[in-house]
Amino acid sequence: MSRIVVRPVTAATYPDFVRLFEARGSPHYCWCTPYRFRDSSTLDSSGKKRRMHELVAERTPIGVLAYDGDEPIGWCSVAPRESYAKLERSKTMPRATPEGTPTWVILCFFVVRPQRGNGVTARLLKGAVAYAKAKGARVVEGYPYDSAQVSATHRGHSKLFRSARFKRSGRRWARAL
């Protein structure tokens, strides 16, 4: 476990993001696009992959990868709230910070099956918070499936967020930086 490192997805690490998402059992059906693009439901897998590549090429943050050595083993979607187009009017995940407050949102975790239960998700969360802070975030939000009334377990559990010093306010968990 001590070999696990977390790095942001950049032009240099984008091939690792692709390798992780194209691996068997990965979330290649979504490419973590549903909240980023209003038209994501109309895109096929290659279109979603292309749109994520465009964001990375534009230097728009999309998330972080966990590595065991050189092997990508996990993913956390973390980015500025404004980069998630579908959060703009979300009733389930409304903005809780004043406009202009640099707020980032964590919406998804994925860990390859052989690494599940090894603390990779906690490492991803810690790395995501550090990345957001380094990029100027003042607040990081999360919406765990067991308290945000969402059915998708890829959002993480409230115990994970609580252990990383996030505080609950309604459905939202947030950590001031």
Select from 82, 164, 81 the least CA-distant residue to 124.
Answer: 164
Question: Where are the strands (E) in the chain, listed by range?
Answer: 4-8, 63-68, 71-80, 103-111, 139-142, 167-169, 172-176
Q: Please state, in angstroms and rounded to a whole number, the distance separating the CA atoms of residues 24 and 36.
A: 24
- pLDDT of res. 29: 87
Q: Does domain 4-176 have CATH number 3.40.630.30?
A: yes
- CA-based torsion, 37, 166, 11, 109: positive or negative: negative
- pLDDT of res. 149: 54
Tens of pLDDT, residues 108-148: 999 999 999 899 999 999 999 999 999 999 999 998 876 65
Token pair of 81 as six digits: 């709230």
- pLDDT of res. 121: 94
What residues in the chain have per-residue pLDDT under 50? 1
- pLDDT of res. 144: 83
- pLDDT of res. 45: 93
Partners of 111 in the beta sheet?
74
pTM of structure: 0.91
- pLDDT of res. 48: 95
Q: Please state, in angstroms and rounded to a whole number, the distance separating the CA atoms of residues 67 and 71.
A: 5
